[in-house]
Structure 1
Amino acid sequence: MLIYSGVRVSELLDLKRENVNIEERCFKVAESKTESGIRVVPIHDRTYPFFKKWYEDGNEYLLHTPDGKQFIYRNYYDSYWTPVMELIGCSHKPHDTRHTCISMMTEKEVSPTLIKKIVGHSGAMSLTEKVYTHVNVQELLEAINRI
């Protein structure tokens, strides 16, 4: 199980089923270390089947241990991330996927404002972007699906 590139691992591990809107293909990050981290995140078409399966499992936490408990970061990292990285011969850290996601969206000329909204980087937003820019889930989906 790899992670969704636009969010922090901790945000995914804390993601509760109640915060996923499977029909609209998005989820809400309800807890974050910053205010801008509280946001709606689109689910990329390629990751949607995974989210749908996890959602249909019916557990409180979308990502969970085989016995239905919430993952703790160390368990996720040691039991899932590290073995996959070793298997494919890479030495990346989970946070690297955020950098890659942002780079890929930039290469596909996704609006910087949409990128910031998806990954929760309001600190880099202008006052105009923060106050006057409102986007809907469909715009976010179109942006993430460009990669």
Structure 2
Amino acid sequence: MTDREFKKYVNTEIMEYERYLEGEKRSENTIKEYAHFVKDMLLHLKKRAEEITAQDLKKYKMYLSTKKKYSKNSLYLAVEAIKAYFKYKNMNVARDLKAPKRPKQMPTYLTEEEVRRLLNAAHDNPRDYAILSFLAYSGLRVSELCNLRIEDVDFSERIVRVHGGKGDKDRIVVISPRAIEALEEYISTRNDSLEYLFSSRKSEKITRVQVFRLVKKYARIAGIKKEVTPHVLRHTLATTLLRRGVDIRYIQQFLGHSSVATTQIYTHVNDKMLKSVYDKVLQEY
């Protein structure tokens, strides 16, 4: 098989794998990541799927770890993608391939003052201000925000219906009056008939990449030194709700977590909270 023929084979494999993942109701982000990792593996090994051995996969995992310097988290994702691929192919070659344990990292979040600065930085751009307000006040995943249609928002009740969230689950999210006001102002500037809530100049709905770039842009303008992403705003909302005494079970439902164990990561506390609790409980012996 020539190099050109092999590349064509790889592209066909990836397209079919992506269709399989879509049928499995995997998220848009998971499909993109898994396709990337499997394509990289096939191109590196230069073998068709049925020619790949368990030893090849062990060597490839070592290559990712030592040569490409993958973090534990990236290596975990790569191994999971490869195992899912060979499961789809009905092959047992990846059965004994072990993924490293993912490190449990404290989630990054913004202070309330940093959130105000972020929103103020976008105040003169109705669409961008509405997007940032929506992320800050709703805790939506970026893919959920991109897929929202105008009909999904009940403006009078301040309710958003999220369809096909992570795990293909629907849920209802409540948002603040301020986010609704920002959204209404943005919609009043539009003169199109597009069904999606947030659009861009190039497409009828905004993309994940565009939202990531938008968030980073305004974080930079606001002078925030942290690495700010849409997910950081999700962490921030969960942290703020918890700090203000909201029961973790409500936060679980609000964020769309299938298990409260996932929500437990937000029970981290900052130094100020820790000192406050300590001083209330234990002043002196």
Q: 2:233 aligns with which of 97, 105, 110?
A: 97
1:68 Cα offset (Å): 6.5
Alpha-carbon distance in structure 2 between the residues aligned to 1:14 and 1:109 = 31
Alpha-carbon distance in structure 2 between the residues aligned to 1:95 and 1:64 = 20
Q: For 1:48-96, what per-residue CA distance to the aligned partner results, in whole angstroms no more than 9, with x for missing partners? A: 2122234554631111114672011112222x22211111122312101
State the one-letter code of the partner of 2:155.
I
Q: Which has the higher contact order (CA 8 A, sep 6+)?
A: 1
3-state secondary structure, aligned to 2:178? coil
1:13 Cα offset (Å): 1.0
Q: 1:30 aligns with which of 158, 163, 174?
A: 163
Alignment of 1:1-147 (within 5 A): 1=128, 2=132, 3-5=134-136, 6-35=139-168, 37-55=169-187, 57=190, 59-66=194-201, 69-78=204-213, 80-90=214-224, 91-124=227-260
Alpha-carbon distance in structure 2 between the residues aligned to 1:117 and 1:103 = 14
Alpha-carbon distance in structure 2 between the residues aligned to 1:10 and 1:54 = 20
Alpha-carbon distance in structure 2 between the residues aligned to 1:18 and 1:68 = 19
Alpha-carbon distance in structure 1 between the residues aligned to 2:142 and 2:209 = 11
**For the Cα contact (< 8 Å) 1:54–1:62, is it kept in 2?**
no
TM-score by length of 1: 0.73
Q: What is the number of residues matched between the two proteins?
A: 123
Alpha-carbon distance in structure 2 between the residues aligned to 1:64 and 1:26 = 20
Alpha-carbon distance in structure 2 between the residues aligned to 1:41 and 1:30 = 11
TM-score by length of 2: 0.40
**For the Cα contact (< 8 Å) 2:153–2:159, is it kept in 1?**
yes
Q: For 1:111-144, what per-residue CA distance to the aligned partner results, in whole angstroms no more than 9, with x for missing partners? A: 222211111113117xxxxxxxxxxxxxxxxxxx
More helix by share: 2
Runs of 5+ unmatched residues, structure 2: 1-127, 262-285
Alpha-carbon distance in structure 1 between the residues aligned to 2:208 and 2:243 = 30
State the one-letter code of the partner of 1:76.
V
* Structure 1 stretches of 4+ moved >4 Å: 54-58
Alpha-carbon distance in structure 1 between the residues aligned to 2:206 and 2:158 = 23
Runs of 5+ unmatched residues, structure 1: 126-147
3-state secondary structure, aligned to 1:4? helix
Identity of aligned residues (%): 26
